[in-house]
A and B are shown apart, each in its own frame.
Chain A
Amino acid sequence: MRNLERRYRTLLRVLPRWYREDREEEMVGIFLAGRGDDLDLEHGWPGWGETGAVLGLAVRTHLAAGAGLTGVPVGAMWRGEVVRALGVIGLLLGVLGVGVSLAGMVYEAGHPELPGRDAVVVVVDLLPAVAFAALLAGKRTLAKSVAFAAAVPGLLAFGPQVGSWLMWQLPALVTFAALCLGFHREAPTPPAGRLAWWGGGALVLGLAGWVVPAAFVVVAALVVLRVVAFVRGDFVLGRALSLFAVLELGPVALLLAGGVRWWVVLVPAVLLVVSAVAPVRKPGFA
C-alpha cells in the first residue's frame, strides 16, 4: 500500500465503522483515481477540501438522522437524536433567559429611578427567542447564526477567573455545539407545533426566574421533565436531560460564590446529580 492510500484510509477512520465497512474501498478508489503520479502517491496528502468534506460526512453519519441514511445502526440514530435534543434544550434555556430579561424590563419600566437598558443589550437579550423560532421554522442556518450572536457576550466575558467563566458558560457552549453538530443538512426539522408549547413554557418559567434565582427554576424544570421522560420511556429526552444536568452543576455551584448558603445550593446540586445518574428507559426505536 502506498503512503497516499494509507493517509486516505487514516482520514476515513473519522467515519463510523458501520459506514466505513460499507464504503471505504469505494471511497479510496475515488480518492486515488485522480492521483496517479508516482511522486504524489508516495509523498502526497489528502487536500484540505477533501479532509473538510470527510469531516462533514463524519458528523452526519455519527449523528445520523433516521431519514437521512439507510442501514444506520440504532445506536447512531439515538446518538443523533440525543445531541439534537440537547441542542433544543440549549435554545429553550435561552428562551427562559429571554423571559427573565422581559420580566426585568417590565419591572424597570415601572421604576423610572432605575437606569434603563441599552438598546443593544435589549436586542441581544431577545436573540435566543429568535434563534428558537428560526429552528422551528426550519431555518437552521439562521438559528445557528443567531444562537451564536446571542452567545457572543458570554464569550467576551472571558476574564482572569477562567474556572468560574467556564462553569457558567459551559451549558451554553455545549448546547450550542450540539445545535450546530446535530442539526446538519440531513437532520429533520423538529416538530414546530409541539416545540412551540415548550418554548412558551420556557418563557413563562423565565418570568418566574425574576422572582427566584433562574438556576433554581431551571433545576426544578429539569427534574420534572426528567421524571416525565422516565415515566413515558422517552430515552432521547431522558438522556439529553442527564447530560444537561451535568452541565448545570457548574452554574448551580457558582451560586455559592454569589452568597447563597451552602445548604440551599446542596438541594438543587443533589437533584442534578440524581437526574444525571438516574436510569433512562430504552424502548424500541421507532
Chain B
Amino acid sequence: MSEQTFLVLTALAEEPLHGYAIVQAVEQLSEGRMALRVGTLYGVLDRLVADGLAERDREEVHQGRLRRYYRLTDSGVRALQAEVARLSANVRAASAVLRARGLQPWASRA
C-alpha cells in the first residue's frame, strides 16, 4: 500500500469526507509533507472504490459547487488495520535494532 493510499484511508477512517477535505486531511496527517494533487487523489479514490475499500457516501452543493463525499467500507477499515499492524511491526523491529546500538529510535528534528 502506497503512502498516499494509506493517508487517504486514514483520513476517511474518522468520517466521510469530500475531495477537498481529503486533500487537507492528508496534508495535516503528513505534517505538510504530502500535498495531494487532484489528479492523484482521483487515481487513489478510483482504486479504493474499485477494490471495495471506499465508496461514495452523499453529495452536497456548497457555494454552487458539487461536493461528493467518500467513506470507508468495512473492508477498508480492515485493510487499514492490517497496514497499521504491518507498519507497527516494522517500527518495533527497527526501534529494537537502534536501541541495541544504544541509539534513540526517534531522533530529534533539526
Query: What are the residues of chain B within 8 A of A31 when measuring CB–CB?
Result: 38
Would you call A54 and B20 a contact (CB within 8 A)? Answer: no
Would you call A53 and B66 a contact (CB within 8 A)? Answer: no
Query: What are the residues of chain A within 8 A of B88 when measuring CB–CB?
Result: none
Whether a CB of chain A sits under 8 angstroms from the CB of B101 is: no
The stretch among A64-72, A87-95, A146-154, A236-244 that forms the contact with chain B is A64-72
Query: What are the residues of chain B within 8 A of A55 when measuring CB–CB?
Result: 39
Would you call B43 and A60 a contact (CB within 8 A)? Answer: yes
Whether a CB of chain A sits under 8 angstroms from the CB of B25 is: no
Query: What are the residues of chain A within 8 A of B67 when measuring CB–CB?
Result: 26, 29
A-B contact count (CB 8 A): 67
Would you call B37 and A50 a contact (CB within 8 A)? Answer: yes
Would you call A53 and B39 a contact (CB within 8 A)? Answer: yes
**Which residues in chain B, 41-90, are within 8 Å of chain A measured between CB atoms?**
41-43, 46-47, 49-50, 62, 65-68
Would you call A57 and B42 a contact (CB within 8 A)? Answer: yes
Known A-B contacts A26-B67, A29-B19, A30-B20; A49 and B37 likewise in contact (beta carbons under 8 Å): yes
Q: Is the interface of A mostly helix, strand, loop or mixed?
A: helix
Whether a CB of chain A sits under 8 angstroms from the CB of B12 is: no
Query: What are the residues of chain B within 8 A of A67 when measuring CB–CB?
Result: 50
- With both beta carbons as reference points, the residue of chain A lying nearest to B62 in the complex is identified as A29
| Chain A: minimal CB distance from B55 (Å) | 10
Whether a CB of chain B sits under 8 angstroms from the CB of A139 is: no
| Chain B: minimal CB distance from A167 (Å) | 36
Would you call A53 and B37 a contact (CB within 8 A)? Answer: yes
Would you call A186 and B46 a contact (CB within 8 A)? Answer: yes
Whether a CB of chain A sits under 8 angstroms from the CB of B26 is: no
| Chain B: minimal CB distance from A58 (Å) | 8
| Chain B: minimal CB distance from A208 (Å) | 43
Whether a CB of chain B sits under 8 angstroms from the CB of A108 is: no
Would you call B50 and A30 a contact (CB within 8 A)? Answer: no
| Chain B: minimal CB distance from A46 (Å) | 9
A67→B50 CA distance, assembly (Å)? 7
A34→B68 CA distance, assembly (Å)? 17
Known A-B contacts A27-B38, A29-B65, A29-B67; A56 and B43 likewise in contact (beta carbons under 8 Å): yes
Known A-B contacts A68-B46, A69-B50, A70-B46; A28 and B39 likewise in contact (beta carbons under 8 Å): no
Known A-B contacts A29-B20, A32-B65; A68 and B40 likewise in contact (beta carbons under 8 Å): no
Whether a CB of chain B sits under 8 angstroms from the CB of A23 is: yes
Whether a CB of chain A sits under 8 angstroms from the CB of B23 is: yes
| Chain A: minimal CB distance from B73 (Å) | 13
Q: B20's contact among A23, A34, A186, by CB below 8 Å, is which?
A: A34
Query: What are the residues of chain B within 8 A of A25 when measuring CB–CB?
Result: 65-66
Q: B23's contact among A30, A49, A60, A69, by CB below 8 Å, is which?
A: A30
A200→B30 CA distance, assembly (Å)? 47
- With both beta carbons as reference points, the residue of chain A lying nearest to B44 in the complex is identified as A185
Would you call A23 and B42 a contact (CB within 8 A)? Answer: yes
Query: What are the residues of chain B within 8 A of A52 when measuring CB–CB?
Result: 37, 39
Query: What are the residues of chain A within 8 A of B37 when measuring CB–CB?
Result: 49-50, 52-54
- With both beta carbons as reference points, the residue of chain B lying nearest to A31 in the complex is identified as B38
3 residue pairs, one from A and one from B, having the closest CB atoms: A53-B39, A53-B37, A29-B65
Hey, which bits of chain A sit against chain B, CB under 8 A?
A: 23, 25-34, 49-50, 52-57, 60, 67-70, 185-186
4 new A-B pairs (CB below 8 Å) besides A34-B20, A70-B46?
A27-B19, A30-B20, A50-B38, A53-B39
A/B interface sample: 5 pairs, CB < 8 A: A49-B37, A50-B37, A52-B39, A53-B40, A56-B43
